[in-house]
A and B are shown apart, each in its own frame.
Chain A
Amino acid sequence: MDFTIVAYAIPFLLTGAKTTLLISMFGVGLGLPLGILVALARTSRNRLVCKAADAYCAVFRGTPMLVQIFVIYYGLGQVGLFRSNPVIWWLIGDGLHAAILAVLLNTGAYTAEIFRTAFLSLPRGLIEAAQSCGMSPWIILRRIKFPLALRQALPSYSSEVAIIVKESSLASTIAVLEITGWAKRLMSETFAIMDIFIITSVFYLTLNVVGLTALKLLERQLWFERRLTRTKATSPCPS
């Protein structure tokens, strides 16, 4: 490995890492609430809401992310209505915004799937107990359903976070220079394909390891809480 190339490449890749991080942050920060909302819609009693949410998930999970990003960035700009609306144009007119929107919508569908199974796996008895205590649906959601579903969903969601980081690389196809975009540019500039690949993989692996470790810590935190409450509730003499 040639260290001059490493020293040359790292500043560029660091600026790319900022963009990747930005897209991923939005993907996690807004994609998680979106996914939970859609999951709730999919488990709701209202047929129309349920069908619409199902369709959204099916479309975004059934088509490649590349197609979605192209439809959003190149396709929607063709519609005059969207072009004249300043809010929508702000969202899709800029490469970075379009990439964030695409990642957000994509991860929303996958997250919804994860949380839907988590909501479905909740024991009925708990919810019935909450209802019989006279809790309102909102309180049941906030105090019973959501904490339990989060614990169920967290292991799968952590792999979804790794996927978000990887999917953000597709932003480079619409000329947003994030890590992969810079890597491609550096590859064609220096011809040190393998060196650049190794450095870039180190960047991605670091991002993933940091993200996964954070989620694992959160997971442990949640399980710890559960263990405490269980020993308090069930065993008369703590061991």
Chain B
Amino acid sequence: MKILLAKPGLDGHDVGVKVLAHGLKDAGFEVVYTGLRKSIETIVDMAVERQADAIGLSILSGTHLILAERMNGVMAERKLDIPWLVGGNIPVLDVPKLEASGAAKAFPTGSKIQEIIEYFETLNTKK
């Protein structure tokens, strides 16, 4: 299974997303990391180009709802069906909002790496 990990928007906090990338690789996933400050369009392009099975968006600056809405729009526009998730500083109240805008799942800071690995494994078996 190939996972694209992405940093949308201007937020430069990348310690968490890189830690997760190492963890997913150790668990046997193939990981592609976009690097910082990518537009939603670029991220979706990369996911298609690299044939990613899932996309993880890492957002810590508080712009998660705005970026999720755009992600939802771009995915619909391009008629894509790749599951995408959001991780980062997510207030509990925003989790249902993110899921309503099309995110398959939201992992707030403090989530265990093992939890996230297990989630991706369930996505993998669904495929």
Physical interaction between A and B: no
Question: Which residues of B are at the interface with A, using a C-beta cutoff of 8 A?
Answer: none
